[in-house]
Structure 1
Amino acid sequence: MKYRIRHRTRYDYPQQVSQCYSLTHLLPRNTHFQRCTRASISVHPGPAVSAERSDYFGNHSYHFSVQIPHQVLEVTAESEVEILAQRQSLALDFGASCAEVKALLGNLQPEENIAAREFLLDSPRITRSAVLADYARDCFRDDLPYFSCVRNFTSRIFDQFEFDPRATEVTTPLETVLQQRKGVCQDFAHLAIGCLRSLGFPARYVSGYLETLPPPGSPRLEGADASHAWFAVYSPTEGWADFDPTNDQMAEEQHITTAWGRDYSDVTPLKGSVIGGGANQKLSVAVDVERLPD
């Protein structure tokens, strides 16, 4: 299966910007399940300085600086991704138990155990707490298979929370999300990660795209797709597995991974600073995820 992704971001400033510096995470990374076969980023006005690199987590990052006056900044990322193999459904009722996962995390081998323990810690947007641990605790009995518990916890978030893009902002605390039971995919991923870390399980934030199909007989609307977010958990015996609480499922072949990190702040699609521009800038984002013929 192959996909073409086009992600366009536009900033309109009420006053002139004299200079900007930006960092993007817009180009899909290679994983066990996908390969990015083509990727490019265009910036208008053209940048005076730009560079691509692999960041701390192995994601593709792109830095640029526009050093001429402008009131509109437009960044367009285009990529093509090939799904190498369908994600296999895990045998959720087998594998290490919750107690075994915690015990095995203390081992120095395999080496991935050490790297995974970093995702036990607090991060800029996720702080462990007793409140978060209490919300999830009864889903994670010591004697039950760990991945089965994560799957049930994913369903709990889906069943108990309402998707509402007006309910939260990027900075809304997790305790507020938990109290009002509303939010978006970013909130649900952060909530799950916060609960898991509070219970002693490593979890990371995954950003990317999800193929969406129009209703039968309806045309596909250009620019109507959006970025998506979910979370992944680690078991020393089975590795990493991805879960999507917004859609009550494990990540499947329609999930296209862009980047992963501790939380949203590590993989923000586009962030930076500007000199000038004034207040009340206007941001518009259009995303297209198109399935290509084999």
Structure 2
Amino acid sequence: MKLQVTHETRYHYTPAVETAQHIAHLQPCDTPYQVLLQHRLDITPTPDELRTGRDVFGNIRTFFALQSSHDELCVVADSLVETRTPLRPASALPWEQVRDRFRYRAGGEFDPAAQFLFHSPYVPRHADFLDYARPSFGAGVPLLEAAEDLMRRIHRDFEYAADSTEVSTPAVEALALRKGVCQDFAHIMVACLRMLGLPARYVSGYLLTQPPPGQPRLIGADASHAWASVYVPGGPDHDGWYDFDPTNDRAPGEDYVTLAVGRDFSDVSPMRGVIHGGASHHLRVGVTVQPLADADEPRPEETTP
């Protein structure tokens, strides 16, 4: 499936901002099941400095600086991606075997997935996560089967409530509240998996805005979305990472677009920065994801990072 993604971020500042520096994660990444075909980033006012590179997790990251006064900032990312549904193995390793693989051994072989074992700014270690995860992880249960059960329990036990949490709400607080948004549910699932000694990462991305006929509209459309990913080593024709969306109780398919991956939201925020001035601001964000055949806008120009 070819999907056209438009992500518009607009800030209005009062008073005007004098200078600003921003970092954006707005260019979808290439994965075994997703290819970025075209991408264009339009920034108004025109930055005085602009550069693009990869962060430590392999995501495309754009830095830009504005050195003149401005009372509005508009950033529009247009992307064209081709996606396909990820394959799922018929069976997988027992979760204990994956856990044991990542236990420290002097002289042991390093696996890059190990960087997703530890706590991070939005995903602390806490016994409450372990207590919540345990019912899904019985002895000898295949890891993907256990992770799916954990995903379904989060979906069942938690209420999606847009105003119940903020970006800075700790995951353990959202766990206690039993409510939150997609970011909270992804953080909770990642925290549960890490407490069991399993590598897990946070995924930011998008959902198809309008579902195919006869299918329900998913929570998280018209905005950036988030879900969790767990690592199972040794999968054929796969990078080992398998995604789970507890917000919508399903495995992401070709109607999902992966933007970036990291330890938690702090690594992959779509846009963040430092400004001088602008004591108050109003933010408006709009996201549209649609099949290419339905897109009204012209296709974006191709850029190479």
Provide TM-score, normalisation by structure 2: 0.88
Q: Is this contact kept in 1: 2:22–2:272, CA < 8 A?
A: yes
155, 169, 177: which one pairs with 2:152? 155
Shift of 1:86: 2.6
Q: Which residue of 1 aligns with 2:88?
A: 89
Could you say what the CA RMSD is over the residues aligned between the two structures, in angstroms? 2.1
Q: Which residue of 1 aligns with 2:141?
A: 144
Structure 1's 188 and 45: CA in aligned 2 closer, same or farther, altered over 3 A? Answer: same
Residues 137-146 or 4-13, more deviating: 137-146
Q: Is 2:233 the counterpart of 1:232?
A: no
Amino acid at match of 1:199: L
Q: Is 2:7 the counterpart of 1:7?
A: yes
Q: Which residue of 1 aligns with 2:254?
A: 253
Amino acid at match of 1:169: E
Residues 101-110 or 49-58, more deviating: 101-110
Q: Which residue of 1 aligns with 2:95?
A: 98
Q: Is this contact kept in 1: 2:13–2:279, CA < 8 A?
A: yes
Which SS does the other structure have where 1:124 is aligned? coil
Structure 1's 263 and 79: CA in aligned 2 closer, same or farther, altered over 3 A? Answer: same
Distance between the aligned counterparts of 1:139 and 1:250, measured in 2? 17
Q: Is 2:271 the counterpart of 1:274?
A: no
Shift of 1:114: 1.8
Q: Is 2:209 the counterpart of 1:212?
A: yes
Q: Which residue of 1 aligns with 2:286?
A: 286
Distance between the aligned counterparts of 2:34 and 2:95, measured in 1? 29
Distance between the aligned counterparts of 1:101 and 1:237, measured in 2? 10
Q: Which residue of 2 aligns with 1:188?
A: 185
Question: Which structure 1 residue ranges, 5 or more long, are not aligned?
Answer: none
What number of residue pairs does the alignment pair up? 284
Which SS does the other structure have where 1:195 is aligned? helix
Q: Is this contact kept in 1: 2:186–2:226, CA < 8 A?
A: yes
130, 134, 153: which one pairs with 1:133? 130
Provide TM-score, normalisation by structure 1: 0.92
Q: Is this contact kept in 1: 2:210–2:290, CA < 8 A?
A: no
Q: Is this contact kept in 1: 2:25–2:271, CA < 8 A?
A: yes
Distance between the aligned counterparts of 1:215 and 1:256, measured in 2? 16
Shift of 1:255: 1.0
Q: Deviations over 1:251-274 (max 9, x none)?
A: 111111010000000000000010
Distance between the aligned counterparts of 2:147 and 2:159, measured in 1? 19
Q: Is this contact kept in 2: 1:95–1:237, CA < 8 A?
A: no
Which SS does the other structure have where 2:123 is aligned? coil
Q: Is this contact kept in 2: 1:119–1:262, CA < 8 A?
A: yes
Distance between the aligned counterparts of 1:206 and 1:271, measured in 2? 17
Q: Deviations over 1:235-265 (max 9, x none)?
A: 1233110100001011111111010000000
Q: Deviations over 1:6-64 (max 9, x none)?
A: 10000011101110000000010001001111111111111000001011111011100
Distance between the aligned counterparts of 1:292 and 1:17, measured in 2? 37
Q: Which residue of 1 aligns with 2:45?
A: 45
Q: Is this contact kept in 2: 1:110–1:236, CA < 8 A?
A: no
Q: Is this contact kept in 2: 1:231–1:243, CA < 8 A?
A: yes
Question: Which structure 2 residue ranges, 5 or more long, are not aligned?
Answer: 295-305
166, 170, 174: which one pairs with 2:167? 170
Structure 1's 65 and 234: CA in aligned 2 closer, same or farther, altered over 3 A? Answer: same
Seq. identity, %: 43
